[in-house]
Amino acid sequence: MLAAFAHLNWLAVALAALAYFSLGAAWFTPLFGKAWDHSIGHDRSAAPTFGPDYYLVPLVSAIFVSLALGLTLAALAPPSFGESLIVGGVIGLGVAAAVSINNALTPHTPHPYLFGAVTGGYHVIGIVVVSAIIGAFPS
C-alpha cells in the first residue's frame, strides 16, 4: 500500500477534493438545503449563517476522502476509468451511504431517513465524482 503513494497523482487528488467540496456547497444549499434543514429540524431563515467550521470541516473531509480514494485506486495498479467508477460506487454505497443512514438513526434527528437520503446521496455522488476525476488522470 505504501507503494501507492509513489503512483498517486496529487493534482488529481486536489481537483477531486475541490470538486467534492464544491458539490457539497451546491448539494446542501440550493439543491437539497431545504430538505436537509427539515431533516435535522433547522430553520435557516432564523439563523442564516453558519460558523467557519461548517465550511472548513467539509473541506478537510473532502481532502481526506480524495486522498484515501486516490491511494485505493493507485493500489489497484492502475485501474481503468470504468473500474474507478465501480470502486467509487461500491465505496459510496457500501460505506458512505450506509454510515450516513446509520448515523442518522438517533433520537435527536427528527427525520432520519430524509437526513440519510440527502447526506448519503451526496456522498455516493461525490465519491463517484472523486473516483472519476482520479481515474481520468494517469498515475
Burial readout 21-55 (b: 16 or more C-beta within 10 A, e: otherwise): bebbeebbeeebbeebebbbeeeeeeeeeeeeeee
> How far is the C-alpha of 34 from the C-alpha of 132, rounded, in Å?
28
- Read off the DSSP letter of residue 80: P
Q: Which three cell numbers stand for residue 129?
A: 465524482
Position 138 scores a pLDDT of 76
Single pTM value for the model: 0.92
Local mean pLDDT, 10-residue blocks, the chain (139 residues) = 80 98 96 95 80 94 97 86 95 96 93 97 98 90
